[in-house]
């Protein structure tokens, strides 16, 4: 195989890619998110999910949660490069399978149809944290908080039963117990 001309490593077929979640604490100021996202896009790293919000108004800190896929070498490189960005205060990274971290997404689904059809939709969603946010005779907006794969599954299940629109957050993460992210 010819050697890549790219300055960045490209995984070979032998290297195994895994899904990782980065939690990045940054200054809450204009342009910071663009710099973080630019680090990914400029090097050809895909962002599968992105969630960002201010978490400390006094210190003016935002928390960015990024889901990406890569080899351990690529993930280490991303972590080092994120830590070098000036507005970044802290970077934590976890594999999606990490049992010490809780990962969730929230989705809003709008379903329409007759009463029986909508009841089937609601029954299909009962095992999830279901909240009805809006209800008319012919439509409902429901909120579900679950794992990403569960939201994918319920979205597919709802399509034939009247799902007309869906909106999802990116993944968010929190460590279990009293421990905080390192």
Q: Are residues 144 and 81 in the same domain?
A: no
Q: Are residues 60 and 87 in the same domain?
A: yes
Query: Which tokens in the block code for residue 100?
Result: 């010490």
Measured at the CA of 38, the angle between CA 56 and CA 67, to 5 degrees, comes to 65
Please name every residue paired with 51 in a beta bridge, in sequence order, or none if there are none. 65
Domain boundary among 65, 95, 125: 95
Q: Is the pLDDT of residue 6 over 60?
A: no
How many folded domains does the chain comprise? 2
pLDDT confidence of 4, banded at 50, 70, 90? Answer: very low
pLDDT confidence of 1, banded at 50, 70, 90? Answer: very low
Residues 6 or more apart whose Cβ sits within 8 Å of residue 7: none
Alpha-carbon distance of 139 to 149, in angstroms, equals 25
Q: Are residues 53 and 86 in the same domain?
A: yes
Q: What is the mean pLDDT of residues 45-73?
A: 95
Q: Are residues 88 and 126 in the same domain?
A: no
CA distances from 65 to 83, 135, 170 (A): 14, 32, 8
Decide which of 108 and 157 is more confident.
108
Percent of the chain whose predicted confidence (pLDDT) is above 70: 91
Percent of the chain whose predicted confidence (pLDDT) is above 90: 65
Domain boundary among 95, 118, 136: 95
Query: Which tokens in the block code for residue 161?
Result: 């039963």
Alpha-carbon distance of 115 to 89, in angstroms, equals 51
Alpha-carbon distance of 43 to 51, in angstroms, equals 20
Query: Which tokens in the block code for residue 84?
Result: 């070098």
Q: Is the pLDDT of residue 12 over 60?
A: no
Instruction: State which residues form the domain around 157.
Output: 101-174
The mean pLDDT of the chain is 89
Q: Is the pLDDT of residue 85 over 70?
A: yes
Q: Are residues 57 and 85 in the same domain?
A: yes
Rg, the chain, Cα only: 20
Alpha-carbon distance of 92 to 78, in angstroms, equals 11
pLDDT of res. 13: 60
Q: What is the mean pLDDT of residues 118-133?
A: 86
Residues 6 or more apart whose Cβ sits within 8 Å of residue 28: 54, 60, 61, 62
Q: What is the pTM of this model?
A: 0.81
Q: Are residues 146 and 77 in the same domain?
A: no
Q: Are residues 75 and 136 in the same domain?
A: no
pLDDT confidence of 124, banded at 50, 70, 90? Answer: confident
């Amino acid at each position: 195989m010819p050697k890549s001309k790219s300055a960045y490593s490209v995984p070979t077929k032998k290297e195994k890619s895994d899904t990782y979640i980065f939690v990045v604490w940054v200054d809450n100021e204009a342009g910071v998110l663009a710099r973080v996202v630019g680090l990914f896009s400029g090097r050809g790293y895909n962002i599968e999910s992105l969630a960002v919000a201010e978490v400390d108004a006094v210190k003016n800190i935002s928390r960015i949660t990024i889901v990406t896929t890569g080899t351990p070498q690529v993930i280490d490189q991303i972590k080092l490069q994120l830590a070098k960005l000036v507005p970044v205060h802290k970077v934590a990274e976890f594999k999606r399978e990490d049992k010490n971290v809780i990962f969730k997404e929230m989705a809003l689904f709008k379903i329409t149809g007759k009463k029986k059809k909508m009841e089937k939709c609601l029954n299909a969603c009962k095992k999830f944290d279901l909240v009805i946010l809006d209800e008319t005779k012919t439509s409902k907006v429901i909120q579900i908080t679950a794992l990403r794969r569960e939201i994918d599954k319920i979205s597919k299940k709802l399509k034939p039963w009247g799902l007309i629109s869906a909106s999802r957050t990116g993944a968010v993460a929190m460590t279990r117990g009293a421990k905080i992210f390192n």
